[in-house]
Structures are given as C-alpha cells and as structure tokens.
Amino acid sequence: MSFRNSSRMAMKALRTIGSRRLATRNISVMSRNVAASTTRFAPRMTAPMVQTRGMRVMDFAGTKENVWERNDWPREKLVDYFKNDTLAIIGYGSQGHGQGLNARDQGLNVVVGVRKDGASWKQAIEDGWVPGKTLFPVEEAISKGTIIMNLLSDAAQTETWPQIAPHITKGKTLYFSHGFSVIFKDQTKIQPPKDVDVILVAPKGSGRTVRTLFKEGRGINSSFAVYQDVTGKAQEKAIGLAVAVGSGFIYQTTFKKEVVSDLVGERGCLMGGINGLFLAQYQVLRERGHSPAEAFNETVEEATQSLYPLIGKYGLDYMFAACSTTARRGAIDWTNRFLEANKKVLNDLYDNVENGNEAKRSLAYNSAPNYRELYDKELEEIRNLEIWKAGETVRSLRPEFNKH
Ligand SMILES: NC(=O)C1=CN([C@@H]2O[C@H](COP(=O)(O)OP(=O)(O)OC[C@H]3O[C@@H](n4cnc5c(N)ncnc54)[C@H](OP(=O)(O)O)[C@@H]3O)[C@@H](O)[C@H]2O)C=CC1
Ligand SMILES: CC(=O)[C@](C)(O)C(=O)O
Ligand SMILES: [Mg+2]
Ligand SMILES: [Mg+2]
C-alpha cells in the first residue's frame, strides 16, 4: 500500500477513533473495538485491563500496576464509610480549596483550619466555610478532626509542626498530599506519632483542577501511599479519601517515590523545564529577527492551543500524524538532540532532589514571613518578560478574551 493511501487510511482511522474516543469513555470497549481497526499511525491504544472488584490490574507498556477508581466509592458508600469522621483540612491554598470543597460536596463532615484573618481565612469564608462552625484556627480545627489533612505549604508544615504535633493523638489519621514533610524529616523535623495511621493522597495536578474536574463529574488522577498503618485500614482509608477529595483514578506509590517524582516533575517538564524551553526558543527566534507575535505564536500559542491538547487526547504519535510530513520528519530527527541535552539536566535535577538540596532551598525560601510578597515580585517579573507581554496581546484576540 502506498504511503499516501496508508496516510489517508490513517487519517480516516484517526477521525473515526477521534470521534469514537470522544463518544466512548469505557476503556475496555475502546481497547477491543478500536484496536482491530487501527493502523500504524493511529494513536496508541489504551492498556487492556482485567477488572476485579475495587481494583484493576492494568498493563502499562508491559508493567502491571493496580489502579483504583472513583466508581467503586459512590457517594452513599463514602458518606457511610466516613460517617464517624470529621475531615480537618489544615491549610487552604490550592489543594485545601479543591479537596475541601469536593469532600464537602460529597456530604462528608469537613472543617477548615487556617490562620485567622489571613488570606486563606478570607478565601475560605468566600467559599462558604463559616467561622466557628466549619472554619477555625488551626489547632481548634485539629481538635475537632479525626482525619487531619495537612495541606499547609510544605514550609509551613515544618514551621507549625511543634504546635500541631501534640494534637495528633491516638486514633486520629494524619494525611498529607505530598511526601515532603515525612521524607525530608532531617530538615523538617516532622516525625509522625507512632500510634496513628499516616497516609498521603497526591493529586497529579493543581488544586484548581482538582475542583474543576470534580465539578465536571470526572476526577483527577492521584497517587496514594501508606507510611504507617496502625489500624490495618490505612490503605482503604487512603483510597476512600482520594475519592472523597475528587480523584478519578488512583495509583499506588510510596512517600519517597511520590515526593521525588513530584519535585522532579514540577522543576522539569511540568513547570521549570517548559518555561526554559519556551524562553530559549522565543529568544532565538527574536535574536534572529522574528517579530514578537511570530515568535510567540510559534512557541507558545500553537503549542498550548493546538498541538499539546492533541497529545493529551490521543498521544504524541497522533499529534505528529496530524502535522505535515515536513514537520514530522524534522521533529523526529531533532528529538534525540533535545533528549540528550535534557537528560543531562534532568539527572542533575534528580540528584539535587534526592540529596535534599531542593527541599532545603524550598524550605529556606518558603519559610520567609514575606514569602507571598517575594513570589508576587518574581511572578511580576515573569509577567513582564517580552514573551509574556506578547502573549497577552495574542491571547486578547482569542474569541473568549477578544477586547478588540
Ligand atoms: N498546589 C498544588 O496543586 C499541589 C500541592 N500539593 C501539596 O499540597 C500541600 C498544600 O499545597 P498548596 O495547596 O499548594 O498550598 P500552598 O503551598 O500554597 O500553601 C498555602 C497554605 O499554607 C498556609 N501557610 C503558609 N505559611 C504559613 C504559616 N507560616 N503558618 C500557617 N499557615 C501557613 C497558607 O495560609 P495563609 O493564607 O494564612 O498564608 C495557605 O493556607 C503541599 O504539601 C503541596 O506540596 C500536592 C499536589 C499539588
Ligand atoms: C500541581 C502539582 O502537582 C505540583 C506542581 O506538584 C505542585 O503544585 O506542587
Ligand atoms: Mg505535583
Ligand atoms: Mg508538587
């Protein structure tokens, strides 16, 4: 079959798959029906799965992993399971907001504990938490909670631990959304009491997205881990809480694996690395005489508005197949250059996460009393970079923002 025909077939198959994928949420249907009709350009198929009650064993490129899901915890089961519990959300940043509102919407008993009259206190009131009823200063909220969900900033968890620790009494559960405080205990000095369950649920995304996906009736992917299981029920509680706070599919990890992968991810592909790549390409294009609009469109706008969403929906091969053959050839050819250059940086990053240097840096900076003002200044500097000023204008033309 000629390349042209196979490409045409591929695009037809992609269109079919594309529409069918959008219509079909059920993984098993997709992997059965579509696998037969795919061609080599079609997006990679979903992992075949063997469903057992409450947990699926799935094959991730040859490695079998367990996956739990929100469907196993319908609201009535959640409410019944946690009927004798009060979830005390300590800290109301992006995660406290998302997780707290989701758990409250699902009918669980939830209170919030933050500094009185601080930014979070005010935000919590805006979100309907009532001072003296569901909103309290930290220690009072902990005294009312049976499941203490420490969602303070990681630096604040260290700073406040001496006040919080005495309230983490036998029979309570200590919950985190990051392994940071427990794993870097040589720096955080956080040693959980020996007579409580210690668990984590780490949403793989911003707390804002934890909330929006929940409201869309879906759920964010989260990982869970058990650090200490005194009751013999720590894992079940962690999975139930993962659903309660808005998770869709839930993966097992350990506190160490979670914190190292998370610190690497946010400094790498998710935030720091993409910032560096955007800046590098934009600066090269501008230094070689391209206009700000052309440089921004070619670097950020096309990526976020056209190509990256295709990766998210159907995989990278689908996105490559959806671009020109000219682009495809070049992209494949240059991949290794970027791979080699970035692996050097990422291994250096991984070393600095593993040896605690990144934790040290984060604790030092985020413990400053004026940490918010310091970030405001740094983020203002980023906002005022030419790339993002050009981006403001490009974005303003989008229908949803069009002011012109
Ligand atoms: N952001 C995210 O999307 C994700 C975060 N996580 C983890 O979730 C946890 C919470 O993160 P996030 O929601 O981003 O919150 P932030 O890191 O933005 O922390 C903000 C919260 O910490 C409180 N706080 C800061 N300093 C102090 C202090 N000195 N004393 C008392 N309270 C303080 C703030 O209260 P105030 O308003 O009074 O300053 C606010 O409620 C962390 O462990 C994080 O690693 C996990 C996954 C994703
Ligand atoms: C949103 C998230 O998962 C991060 C980037 O790890 C975080 O905010 O710490
Ligand atoms: Mg993360
Ligand atoms: Mg993180």
Residue 308 has pLDDT above 60, yes or no: yes
Q: Say which range, 7-21, 131-145, 172-186, 304-318, has the weakest mean pLDDT.
A: 7-21
Report CA(53)–ligand 1 centroid distance (Å). 35
Residues listed for the chain? 404
Predicted confidence at residue 358, as pLDDT, reads: 98
State the Cα–Cα distance between residues 160 and 243, nearest whole angstrom: 28
Q: Is the CB of 266 under 6 A from ligand 2?
A: yes
Residue 25 has pLDDT above 90, yes or no: no
Taking residues 138-161, what's their average pLDDT? Answer: 97
Band (37; pLDDT cuts 50, 70, 90): very low
Predicted confidence at residue 48, as pLDDT, reads: 52
Band (401; pLDDT cuts 50, 70, 90): confident
Percent of the chain with pLDDT strictly greater than 70: 86
Residue 36 has pLDDT above 60, yes or no: no
Taking residues 3-13, what's their average pLDDT? Answer: 49
Report CA(61)–ligand 3 centroid distance (Å). 23
State the Cα–Cα distance between residues 198 and 187, nearest whole angstrom: 19
CB-based contacts of 168: which residues, under 8 Å, 6+ apart?
142, 148, 174, 192, 193, 196
Per the structure block, which two tokens stand in for 279?
Answer: 């800046």
Report CA(203)–ligand 2 centroid distance (Å). 8
Q: What is the pLDDT of residues 56-71, one digit of tens each?
A: 999 999 999 999 999 9
Q: What is the pLDDT of residues 253-298, one digit of tens each?
A: 999 999 999 999 999 999 999 999 999 999 999 999 999 999 999 9
Tracing tokens 């529409």 back to the chain, one arrives at 19
Predicted confidence at residue 39, as pLDDT, reads: 44
State the Cα–Cα distance between residues 101 and 65, nearest whole angstrom: 30
Residue 44 has pLDDT above 90, yes or no: no
CA angle 324, 325, 329 (to 5 degrees): 120
CB of 170 within 8 A of CB of 118? no
Report CA(263)–ligand 4 centroid distance (Å). 6
Q: How many CA atoms does the CB half-sphere of 75 hold within 13 Å?
A: 9
Helices (H), 165-233: 180-183, 185-188, 207-215
State the Cα–Cα distance between residues 242 and 220, nearest whole angstrom: 10
Residue 6 has pLDDT above 50, yes or no: no
Strand partners, 220: 247
Residue 156 has pLDDT above 60, yes or no: yes
CA 354 to chain centre: 20
Band (54; pLDDT cuts 50, 70, 90): confident
Q: What is the pLDDT of residues 89-101, one digit of tens each?
A: 999 999 999 999 9
Q: What integer best gives the mean pLDDT of the chain?
A: 90
Which residues sit with their C-beta closer than 6 Å to ligand 1?
A: 91-96, 114-115, 118-120, 151-154, 156, 159-160, 177-178, 180, 202-203, 206-207
Tell me: is residue 324 an annotated ligand-binding position.
yes
Per the structure block, which two tokens stand in for 56?
Answer: 């699926």
Percent of the chain with pLDDT strictly greater than 90: 84
Question: Which numbered ligand comes closest to the C-alpha of 93?
Answer: 1
Q: Which ligand 1 atom sits nearest the alpha carbon of residue 98? A: 13
Predicted confidence at residue 226, as pLDDT, reads: 98
Closest C-alpha residue for ligand 2 atom 2: 205
Q: Which ligand 1 atom sits nearest the alpha carbon of residue 138? A: 31
Residue 50 has pLDDT above 90, yes or no: no
Q: What is the pLDDT of residues 340-357, one digit of tens each?
A: 999 999 999 999 999 999
Q: What is the pLDDT of residues 194-239, one digit of tens each?
A: 999 999 999 999 999 999 999 999 999 999 999 999 999 999 999 9
Rg of the chain (C-alpha set): 24
Identify which of 186, 114, 136, 188 has the alpha carbon closest to the alpha carbon of residue 158.
188
CB-based contacts of 54: which residues, under 8 Å, 6+ apart?
68, 72
Tracing tokens 């605690």 back to the chain, one arrives at 356
Q: Is the CB of 270 under 6 A from ligand 2?
A: yes
CA angle 135, 137, 141 (to 5 degrees): 65
Band (35; pLDDT cuts 50, 70, 90): very low
Q: Which ligand 1 atom sits nearest the alpha carbon of residue 152? A: 22
Identify which of 276, 296, 274 has the alpha carbon closest to the alpha carbon of residue 286.
296
Catalytic (active-site) positions = 178
Residue 51 has pLDDT above 80, yes or no: no
All domains of the chain in start order, with CATH:
56-253 (3.40.50.720), 267-401 (1.10.1040.10)
Residue 21 has pLDDT above 50, yes or no: no
CB-based contacts of 152: which residues, under 8 Å, 6+ apart?
90, 91, 93, 160
Predicted confidence at residue 12, as pLDDT, reads: 54
Identify which of 229, 156, 233, 147 has the alpha carbon closest to the alpha carbon of residue 190.
156
Comparing 119 with 53, which gets the higher pLDDT? 119
Tell me: is residue 143 an annotated ligand-binding position.
no
Largest CA distance in the chain: 73
Burial (Cβ within 10 Å: 0-12, 13-18, ≥19) of residue 402: exposed
State the Cα–Cα distance between residues 400 and 206, nearest whole angstrom: 23
Closest C-alpha residue for ligand 2 atom 8: 206
**Pairing mode, if any, of strands 87-90 and 63-69?**
unpaired
Burial (Cβ within 10 Å: 0-12, 13-18, ≥19) of residue 293: middle
Q: How many CA atoms does the CB half-sphere of 353 hold within 13 Å?
A: 21
Taking residues 3-28, what's their average pLDDT? Answer: 46
